[in-house]
Chain A
C-alpha cells in the first residue's frame, strides 16, 4: 500500500477527484497493452503543466518513483508501473493548443490522440505524419516517449523527425523547453535525446509538432506473390531502383486469410505474401512509380497487381492492413506482437527462420509488417489458457529477437525497449555503450525516479536494482 501521506499530497496537488486509489483503478493502470503486469500505488490525472510539476514534486518529496502514462497502448511494458509507483496520466491534457498552418506546426498537450490531430488539421491540407496502427487511441505524448513509427514512416520518418520542441517537467520539478520553433536552437539537441526516452527523462507537457502537406495524388497497390521470398525481394528491388514509396507493407498468407475473413476486401487468400504499396506525390511522378513498381513486381513473380481505383477501395485495402490485429481473434484469443528490424536484404532469410522457430515451438505466426524499412512484426497467436503456452511464446520470441540481431538488425523499430527487451540490450550494446546511455539518463534524472528499471538492464549504472514483474519476458 502506498502511504496515505503521498495520496494526501497528490490530492493537494491536483484535487481529490483526480487522484484514484481504488483496487479496480489500480488494477487497470498496472499494465499497458503488453502482457506484463506491475503494481500501481496511486493514479493521478493532472490537467496542467503546473499540476504535473506538483505531482513530480510529491514523488520527489517521498522518494517514490513515478510513471508517465498516455493511452497505455504501448507494447513493451514502458508504462507498466513497478513497486507501487505513482502513475501520472496525461489523458486529461488533451487540448490542441494552436495550429500555425503557414509554418506547418502545432502545439499540443501530450494527451491529444494521434489521429485527432490529423483530423483537426485535415481541412488545412495537413496531417501529422507518424501513424502507428493504434493511431485512433494512442496519444502524442506516448508517441514522443516511444519515438513511435507507423506504415507511412518509411518516407516520412518516425516521431523524432516530427517533433521540434517540447516543454518538459524534469524529475526534480524543473520545467524546461527542449528544442524550439526556430531551426537551430542553441546547444545540444536535448529534444532529440528526450524523444524515445520512454518516460525516463521527465514528462512532456506541451509538444510542438511538425505538420506535413497532404499529397496531391495517392495510388495504393496490392501485389501478391507465390513465395515470401519473391515478395521480400520485390521490396529490396523497389528501394534499389531509387523509389521510396510512402508505405511498403507486407502480409503473409495466414494474415491475409484472417483479414479477408474479417473484412471481405477480395484479398488473394492463396498467395504466400501480399505487398501493400502506397505511392504519393505529384501526378506524373506517382504514375511513373506505379508503372515501375508493377514491372518490378512482375519481374519477381507477382501474380496480380491490383491498383485501388478510388478512395473507397484504397480505404478498404488499408483497413485490411490496420485491422490485422483485430482479425487474428478469429484464429486464437491472444497474441504477442514482436518488433525487430533487419536489413531489407535479410528479410527472406529472417522470415524463413521465424517460421522455423515458431514451428519448433508449436505456435502459429502471422506476419504483418513494415517491409519497406525491414521492420518485422511477427504476431504469435495462442490461447493463454493452454498450460505452458506462455513459456513457448516467450522462448520463440527470444529466438526471433536473436536471429534479427544476428542478421545485422536491431531490437526494436518502433515499440521501444521498456521492460520487454531491457535485458536484451546487451545483445546490441556493449557495457561501455550502455554506460553512455545511463549517463544521459543520469543527466536528466540523477535520482532515477522517472520510470525506473526500464530500457537499461541492471548494472548499466551504479545502484540499479532489478525489479521484474510477473509475466515479464526475461
Chain B
C-alpha cells in the first residue's frame, strides 16, 4: 500500500492528529487531522496473516476474513488503526490475548514525515527491537499507523455463550474449564463463552452446569478498570455500582471511573524519553489544550 500521500500530508512542523472512525476517542480537537488509507491488500489464510490499511474498518476486515475461515483478534467497531492505537481488548481477551499480539508488522509515518517499518511479515519474528509492541496502545503519539500486517486465527468450529448456575463461583470456573474464551461476572451471575468442537463444548457445559444463552450481558458503563486478576475476588466490596468483570483477565467494565492508581515516576520518565526519542517536536497527537 502506497503511503507516500499520507506521508506528504503529514509534512510540515505543525501539530497533527489522526482519526479513524472516531469510535475510540477520535481526534485531538483544534489540530490538523489526517487519516490513514483503508482497504485490504491481501489475505493469506494459509499463513494466518492479513495486510490492510490502518483506516480499514474492523468489521469489514472481519467479514472478508470470515469468507476464508479466519478472524482477527481485534474488538469490533471502528478502524483497525484505531483498535491498535488504543490497544484495548474486547471481552474475549481471556481466549484471544491482548490486542498487542495481533500486530506483526506496521508501516507508520513519523513526526518527520518519514515512512518507517516496524516488525516483519511472518508469524514469528525477533529481528530487531519490538517497535510494534510499543506502537500498540501508544494512541498515535509515536507515529501514525498507515499499513499493518496482522495475525489471524481460524474461526472456531462452534461458539456458544452460557450463563452459569446461580451458585457457581466464576473463579472456580476459570480453573476447571479448559481455555474458556470469556468469563464475565457482575458480582452475582457469571457468563461464559466457549469455543471449539461442539461435543467438547457440550461436555464442558454439562460439567460446569452452564445453560446456553444468546448473548453476553450489555456492558454496565463506559469506564474500564484494570486490576490484577486476584483483585477481582474482592470486587464486590470495593466497587460500588454495577460492574462486569472479565474473570482471569482483570478488566472491569464499570459505570464509574477507576480510582486513581499509584504511578511509578521512573516508568513515567522512561515513557517521556521514549516519546521524545520518537517525536522530538511533540507534534503527533498532542493532548487537548
List A residues at the B interface (Cβ < 8 Å).
Answer: 100-105, 146-147, 149, 153, 157-158, 160-161, 170, 174-178, 180-193, 195-197, 200, 213, 215-216, 236-237, 239-240, 242-244, 281-285, 288, 341-345, 370, 373-375, 408-417, 421, 425, 428-430, 432-434, 436-437, 439-444, 446, 455-456
The B76-120 residues at the A interface (CB cut-off 8 A) are 87-89, 93, 97-98, 100-101, 110, 114-118, 120
Structural contact, B124 and A416, CB atoms closer than 8 A? no
Structural contact, B117 and A443, CB atoms closer than 8 A? no
Q: A183-B251, A190-B274, A439-B278 in contact; A282/B129 too (CB < 8 A)?
A: no
Chain B residues near A284: list those with CB within 8 A.
197-200, 203
Chain A residues near B124: list those with CB within 8 A.
149, 153, 158, 341, 370, 373-375, 413-414
Structural contact, B127 and A182, CB atoms closer than 8 A? no
A443 to B272, CA, bound (A): 9
18 residue pairs A–B, Cβ–Cβ below 8 Å: A103-B228, A186-B263, A188-B137, A188-B275, A193-B133, A195-B133, A281-B179, A342-B122, A370-B124, A374-B124, A409-B120, A410-B122, A413-B122, A413-B124, A413-B126, A432-B114, A439-B277, A440-B134
Chain B residues near A177: list those with CB within 8 A.
264, 266-267
- For A158, give its contact among B126, B128, B199, B200 (CB under 8 Å): B126
Chain A residues near B214: list those with CB within 8 A.
none
Structural contact, B267 and A178, CB atoms closer than 8 A? yes
Shortest Cβ distance from B249 into A: residue: A183
- For A184, give its contact among B171, B179, B226 (CB under 8 Å): B226
Structural contact, B154 and A242, CB atoms closer than 8 A? yes
Structural contact, A433 and B116, CB atoms closer than 8 A? yes
Chain B residues near A101: list those with CB within 8 A.
175
Residue B215 is within 8 A (CB to CB) of chain A in the complex? no
Structural contact, A187 and B267, CB atoms closer than 8 A? yes
Name which of B10-18, B30-38, B39-47 contacts chain A. Answer: B39-47
Chain B residues near A182: list those with CB within 8 A.
226-228, 231, 250
The B260-282 residues at the A interface (CB cut-off 8 A) are 261, 263-264, 266-271, 273-278
Task: Name which of B134, B196, B268, B269 has the most chain A CB atoms within 10 A of its CB.
Answer: B134
Q: What are the 7 closest A-B residue pairs judged by CB atoms, nearest first?
A: A192-B133, A242-B154, A285-B197, A282-B200, A240-B46, A103-B229, A284-B199
Chain A residues near B133: list those with CB within 8 A.
160, 189, 191-193, 195
Q: A213-B179, A240-B46, A443-B274 in contact; A147/B130 too (CB < 8 A)?
A: yes
Structural contact, B129 and A433, CB atoms closer than 8 A? no
Chain A residues near B24: list those with CB within 8 A.
none
Structural contact, A282 and B204, CB atoms closer than 8 A? yes
Structural contact, A102 and B154, CB atoms closer than 8 A? no
Q: A412-B126, A429-B117 in contact; A216/B267 too (CB < 8 A)?
A: no
A170 to B274, CA, bound (A): 14
Shortest Cβ distance from A339 into B: residue: B126
Chain B residues near A442: list those with CB within 8 A.
277
A236 to B46, CA, bound (A): 6
The B129-155 residues at the A interface (CB cut-off 8 A) are 129-131, 133-134, 136-138, 142, 153-155
Residue B48 is within 8 A (CB to CB) of chain A in the complex? yes
- For B116, give its contact among A183, A196, A436 (CB under 8 Å): A436
A440 to B119, CA, bound (A): 14
Q: A146-B126, A188-B274 in contact; A215/B137 too (CB < 8 A)?
A: no
Shortest Cβ distance from B104 into A: residue: A410
Structural contact, A193 and B266, CB atoms closer than 8 A? no
- For A437, give its contact among B114, B128, B267, B271 (CB under 8 Å): B128
A187 to B267, CA, bound (A): 9
Residue B53 is within 8 A (CB to CB) of chain A in the complex? no
Q: A161-B97, A374-B123, A425-B127 in contact; A188/B271 too (CB < 8 A)?
A: yes
Chain A residues near B142: list those with CB within 8 A.
188
A84 to B178, CA, bound (A): 51
Structural contact, B277 and A443, CB atoms closer than 8 A? yes
Chain A residues near B44: list those with CB within 8 A.
343, 345
Chain B residues near A375: list those with CB within 8 A.
124
Residue B75 is within 8 A (CB to CB) of chain A in the complex? no
- For A176, give its contact among B134, B197, B266 (CB under 8 Å): B266
Q: Besides A343-B44, A410-B127, 13 other CB < 8 A contacts?
A: A181-B229, A184-B224, A190-B271, A242-B155, A282-B196, A282-B203, A284-B203, A341-B120, A344-B46, A373-B123, A374-B124, A412-B126, A436-B278
Structural contact, A416 and B122, CB atoms closer than 8 A? no
Distance from B271 Cβ to chain A, minimum over Cβ atoms (Å): 5
Q: A161-B97, A189-B136, A433-B116 in contact; A244/B154 too (CB < 8 A)?
A: yes
Residue B230 is within 8 A (CB to CB) of chain A in the complex? yes
Chain B residues near A191: list those with CB within 8 A.
133
Distance from B235 Cβ to chain A, minimum over Cβ atoms (Å): 13
Chain B residues near A216: list those with CB within 8 A.
178
Shortest Cβ distance from A76 into B: residue: B126
Shortest Cβ distance from A161 into B: residue: B101
Residue B69 is within 8 A (CB to CB) of chain A in the complex? yes
Structural contact, A412 and B125, CB atoms closer than 8 A? yes
Shortest Cβ distance from A288 into B: residue: B197
A430 to B137, CA, bound (A): 24
Distance from A288 Cβ to chain B, minimum over Cβ atoms (Å): 6
A283 to B204, CA, bound (A): 11
Distance from A213 Cβ to chain B, minimum over Cβ atoms (Å): 6
- For A157, give its contact among B101, B117, B276, B277 (CB under 8 Å): B101
A329 to B158, CA, bound (A): 48
Structural contact, B278 and A239, CB atoms closer than 8 A? no
Structural contact, B122 and A373, CB atoms closer than 8 A? yes
Residue B248 is within 8 A (CB to CB) of chain A in the complex? yes
A182 to B98, CA, bound (A): 12
Chain B residues near A236: list those with CB within 8 A.
46
Distance from B69 Cβ to chain A, minimum over Cβ atoms (Å): 5
Chain B residues near A200: list those with CB within 8 A.
129
Residue B121 is within 8 A (CB to CB) of chain A in the complex? yes
Shortest Cβ distance from A194 into B: residue: B130
Structural contact, B274 and A412, CB atoms closer than 8 A? no
Structural contact, B175 and A102, CB atoms closer than 8 A? yes
Q: Mark B199-212, 1 if CB is under 8 A from A, else 0.
A: 11001100000000
Chain B residues near A283: list those with CB within 8 A.
200
Structural contact, B128 and A429, CB atoms closer than 8 A? yes
Structural contact, A408 and B121, CB atoms closer than 8 A? yes
Chain B residues near A415: list those with CB within 8 A.
126
Structural contact, B196 and A285, CB atoms closer than 8 A? yes
Chain B residues near A430: list those with CB within 8 A.
117
Shortest Cβ distance from B68 into A: residue: A240
Structural contact, A102 and B174, CB atoms closer than 8 A? yes
The B219-261 residues at the A interface (CB cut-off 8 A) are 224, 226-231, 248-251, 261
Structural contact, B178 and A239, CB atoms closer than 8 A? no
A188 to B274, CA, bound (A): 9
Q: A282-B196, A282-B197, A432-B116 in contact; A409/B129 too (CB < 8 A)?
A: no
Chain B residues near A104: list those with CB within 8 A.
229, 248
